[in-house]
Structure 1
Amino acid sequence: MTEPEAFAQLKRDLTVVVSAEALFTLTDLCGLGPDDAVASAVRTARTLTGAALR
């Protein structure tokens, strides 16, 4: 995969993590409070970004 393709894929992956639907799922279905839901999304985004940069 070329660098531009990898970057485009990372952007799509991160879109899933930072979407409103993801936060609704974390709060409504997983029972997290707003701050914990955001922290979880941030942690997941960091993990995806770190994996993409390896």
Structure 2
Amino acid sequence: MTELQETLQELAAHHGIPSAVVGVAEDGRIEAEAAGNCGGGCAVAPAGPWRCCFGGGS
């Protein structure tokens, strides 16, 4: 688990948010992380959490 994902999980839990995705662009790099689930029993992922949440599958 990266520091970004750990921080995202802690903040989401603290604020009662069931799922969250964050992306950070710095020095030509992009880092993306996700935490939680979309309520349908599947985990969110930075590559496309909308597929889960809106019935598109994985």
TM-score (norm 2): 0.29
Q: Which has the higher strand share?
A: 2
Query: If the length of structure 1 is used for normalisation, what is the TM-score?
Result: 0.31
Q: Whose helix fraction is larger, Structure 1's or Structure 2's?
A: 1
